[in-house]
C-alpha cells in the first residue's frame, strides 16, 4: 500500500513496483472507475502492460437499525423498489447512523477495461432491498 497517487511520480512508482514485485495498492480520487483508470494512465504517461484491478468505492448513509421499518408496498406509479425507511429516533441522527460501502470492480488487461460482476448501482440496490440503506441514497448514487 503506497497511499494515494496524487502525482505522476506516485503513479509511476506504483506501476513500476507492481511490474517488478507484484501486488500494489494505491488510491485515487475520481468520479468513477473508468475516469480513475484514465487519470492513472495519464499520470503514468506510458502504456500499461500489467493487469490492473480498479475498485470503485462509494460510501452511502446507513439506515438506523433501531428505527428502520420495511416499506409495506411499492409506491404507486413509480419504479421505486420496496425497501426500508427510518423515521428517526434518539439513537440516530436524522434516520441514518454510519456509512456502508458499495463497490464495483474493473479489470484492465489486454488494452481494455472490463467490469467484473455487478455494477455500483446494482450493488447499491441490493443494499436497499436488504435494508442497509434506502432509496434516497440509491438515487443520490444513480440519479
| CB nearer Zn ion, residue 59 or residue 66 | 66
Minimum distance, C-beta of residue 51 to Zn ion, in the bound complex (Å)? 44
Per rule CB under 5 A, count of chain residues that contact Zn ion: 6
* Euclidean distance between CA atoms 98 and 61, whole angstroms: 6
Q: Write the DSSP symbol of residue 10.
A: H
Residue 34 per-residue DSSP state:
H
Residue recorded with cell 434518539: 90
Question: Please, which residues have CB within 8 angstroms of residue 47's CB and are 6 or more apart in sequence?
Answer: none
Q: How far apart are CA 61 and CA 99, in angstroms?
A: 5
- The only residue of 67, 71, 107, 121 in contact with Zn ion, by rule CB under 5 A: 67
Q: Which of residues 82-141 bind Zn ion (CB under 5 A)?
A: 89, 91-92
CB of 104 to Zn ion, least distance (A): 29
Query: Residue 54 or residue 64: which is nearer to Zn ion going by CB?
Result: 64
Q: 101 - beta bridge partners?
A: 59
Nearer to Zn ion, 39 or 85 (CB): 85
Q: Which residues bind Zn ion (CB under 5 A)?
A: 64, 66-67, 89, 91-92
Amino acid at each position: 500500500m503506497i497511499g494515494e497517487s496524487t502525482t505522476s511520480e506516485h503513479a509511476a512508482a506504483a506501476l513500476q513496483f507492481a511490474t517488478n514485485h507484484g501486488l500494489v495498492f494505491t488510491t485515487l480520487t475520481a468520479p468513477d472507475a473508468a475516469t480513475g483508470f484514465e487519470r492513472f494512465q495519464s499520470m503514468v504517461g506510458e502504456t500499461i502492460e500489467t493487469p490492473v484491478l480498479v475498485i470503485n468505492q462509494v460510501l452511502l448513509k446507513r439506515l438506523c437499525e433501531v428505527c428502520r421499518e420495511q416499506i409495506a408496498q411499492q409506491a404507486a406509479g413509480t419504479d421505486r423498489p420496496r425497501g426500508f425507511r427510518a423515521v428517526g429516533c434518539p439513537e440516530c441522527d436524522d434516520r441514518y447512523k454510519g456509512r456502508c460501502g458499495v463497490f464495483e470492480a474493473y479489470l484492465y488487461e489486454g488494452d481494455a477495461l472490463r467490469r467484473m460482476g455487478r455494477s455500483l448501482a446494482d450493488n447499491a440496490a441490493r443494499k436497499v432491498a436488504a435494508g442497509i440503506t434506502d432509496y434516497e441514497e440509491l438515487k443520490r448514487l444513480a440519479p
